[in-house]
Amino acid sequence: MRNLLVISDRYPHQEDPYSASFVKKLIKYEKKYFENVYVISLNPWLPKFIAKRMSNPRWYKDAIAKNYEYDNVHVYFAKYLTGKGTFFLRKKDSFAYPLVDKIIRKNDIKFDLIHAHFAHPAGSVAVKIAEKYEKPLVVTAHAHEIREYPFIDEKLENKVLWVLQSADAIITVSQDNVKKMRAFGFKGKVHVIPNGYDPEVFKPMPKEKIRKELKLPTNKKMIVSVGRLIPRKGYIYLINAVDVLRKKRDDFFTIVIGDGPLKTDLRNEVKKRGLEKYIKFIGEIPLDEDVARYIAAADVFVLPTLDEGNPTVMFESLGCGVPFIGSKVAGIPEIITSEDYGLLTEPKNTADLAKKLSIALDEEWDKSKILEYAKQFSWENISKETIELYYSILSS
The predicted pLDDT at position 15 comes to: 83
The predicted pLDDT at position 335 comes to: 98
Task: Say if residue 219 is in the same domain as residue 294.
Answer: yes
Lowest mean pLDDT among 7-21, 92-106, 222-236, 255-269: 7-21
pLDDT over 60 at 380, yes or no:
yes
Let me know how long the chain is.
396
- Decide if 342 is inside a domain: yes
Could you report the per-residue pLDDT of 15-40, keeping only the tens digit for each?
888 888 999 999 999 999 999 999 99
Q: Which domain holds residue 211?
A: 207-377
The predicted pLDDT at position 319 comes to: 98
pLDDT over 70 at 52, yes or no:
no
Task: Say if residue 186 is in the same domain as residue 225.
Answer: no
Task: Say if residue 225 is in the same domain as residue 185.
Answer: no
CA distance 318 to 68: 32
pLDDT over 90 at 244, yes or no:
yes
pLDDT over 70 at 51, yes or no:
no
- Decide if 230 is inside a domain: yes
Task: Say if residue 329 is in the same domain as residue 339.
Answer: yes
- Decide if 266 is inside a domain: yes
- Decide if 359 is inside a domain: yes
- Decide if 202 is inside a domain: no
The predicted pLDDT at position 219 comes to: 96
The predicted pLDDT at position 1 comes to: 83
The predicted pLDDT at position 61 comes to: 77
The predicted pLDDT at position 25 comes to: 94
- Decide if 272 is inside a domain: yes
- Decide if 201 is inside a domain: no
Phi-psi region of 80 (alpha: psi -120 to 50; beta: other; left: phi over 0): beta
Asked if residues 188 and 165 have their Cβ atoms less than 8 Å apart, the reply is yes
Residue 195's pLDDT band (cuts 50, 70, 90) = very high
The predicted pLDDT at position 206 comes to: 97
Task: Say if residue 22 is in the same domain as residue 99.
Answer: yes
- Decide if 129 is inside a domain: yes
Q: What is the CATH number of the domain that holds 334?
A: 3.40.50.2000
Task: Say if residue 18 is in the same domain as residue 81.
Answer: yes
Closest CA to 339 of 310, 369, 379, 297: 369
Report the pLDDT averaged over residues 306-321: 95
Asked if residues 343 and 325 have their Cβ atoms less than 8 Å apart, the reply is yes
CA distance 114 to 356: 43
Task: Say if residue 216 is in the same domain as residue 67.
Answer: no
Report the pLDDT averaged over residues 194-214: 97
297 beta partners = none
The predicted pLDDT at position 298 comes to: 99
Task: Say if residue 141 is in the same domain as residue 169.
Answer: yes
Residue 153's pLDDT band (cuts 50, 70, 90) = confident
Task: Say if residue 257 is in the same domain as residue 308.
Answer: yes
- Could you tell me what percent of the chain has a pLDDT over 70? 96
How much is the mean pLDDT over the chain?
A: 94
* Per-residue 3-state assignment (H helix, E strand, C coil) for the chain: CCEEEEEEECCCECCECCCCHHHHHHHHHHHHHCCEEEEEEEEEECCHHHHHHCCCHHHHHHHCCCCEEECCEEEEEEEEECCCCHHHHHHHHHHHHHHHHHHHHHCCCCCCEEEEECHHHHHHHHHHHHHHHCCCEEEEECCHHHHCHHHCCHHHHHHHHHHHHHCCEEEECCHHHHHHHHHCCCCCCCEECCCCECCCCCCCCCHHHHHHHCCCCCCCEEEEEECCCCHHHCHHHHHHHHHHHHCCCCCEEEEEECCCCCHHHHHHHHHHCCCCCCEEEEECCCCHHHHHHHHHHCCEEEECCCCCCCCHHHHHHHHCCCCEEEECCCCHHHHCCCCCCEEEECCCCHHHHHHHHHHHHHCCCCHHHHHHHHHHHEHHHHHHHHHHHHHHHHCC
Task: Say if residue 328 is in the same domain as residue 269.
Answer: yes
pLDDT over 80 at 245, yes or no:
yes
Task: Say if residue 106 is in the same domain as residue 231.
Answer: no
pLDDT over 80 at 148, yes or no:
yes
The predicted pLDDT at position 54 comes to: 54
Could you report the per-residue pLDDT of 126-135, keeping only the tens digit for each?
999 999 999 9
Report the pLDDT averaged over residues 133-160: 92
CA distance 246 to 357: 11
Query: Beta-carbon neighbour count of residue 195 at 10 Å?
Result: 24
Could you report the per-residue pLDDT of 317-328, keeping only the tens digit for each?
999 999 999 999
Task: Say if residue 64 is in the same domain as residue 190.
Answer: yes
- Could you tell me what percent of the chain has a pLDDT over 90? 85
The predicted pLDDT at position 48 comes to: 63
Report the pLDDT averaged over residues 262-281: 97
Report the pLDDT averaged over residues 258-262: 92
pLDDT over 70 at 53, yes or no:
no
The tally of domains found in the chain comes to 2
